[in-house]
Amino acid sequence: MGERHFIVLKHEGKVPAMAGCEKCKRKFFTPVDYSQDAIGAQEYLFNKFDHHSCEEPRPKPRRV
């Protein structure tokens, strides 16, 4: 598998609210439980990122 890049896309104050994978453009959202917990939110998002499988964006199937 190729290299993957974790990026935080949005912060709510100091807490990361949304992160994504730069390669496959998958997005991950911080649950409300972590909305006051910057470290917990970061760990949660990174954990989700770490366990996702990168899929190359596929072209939409055409109706024939």
Residues lying near Zn ion in the complex (CB under 5 A) are found at 21, 23-24, 26, 54
- CB 24, min distance to Zn ion, A: 3
For residue 59, give both structure tokens: 């072209």
Percent helix, strand, coil in the chain, to 5, is 25, 25, 45
- CB 20, min distance to Zn ion, A: 8
- CB 8, min distance to Zn ion, A: 15
The nearer residue to Zn ion, 33 or 55, going by C-beta atoms, is 55
Bridging pattern class, strands 27-29 and 6-12: unpaired
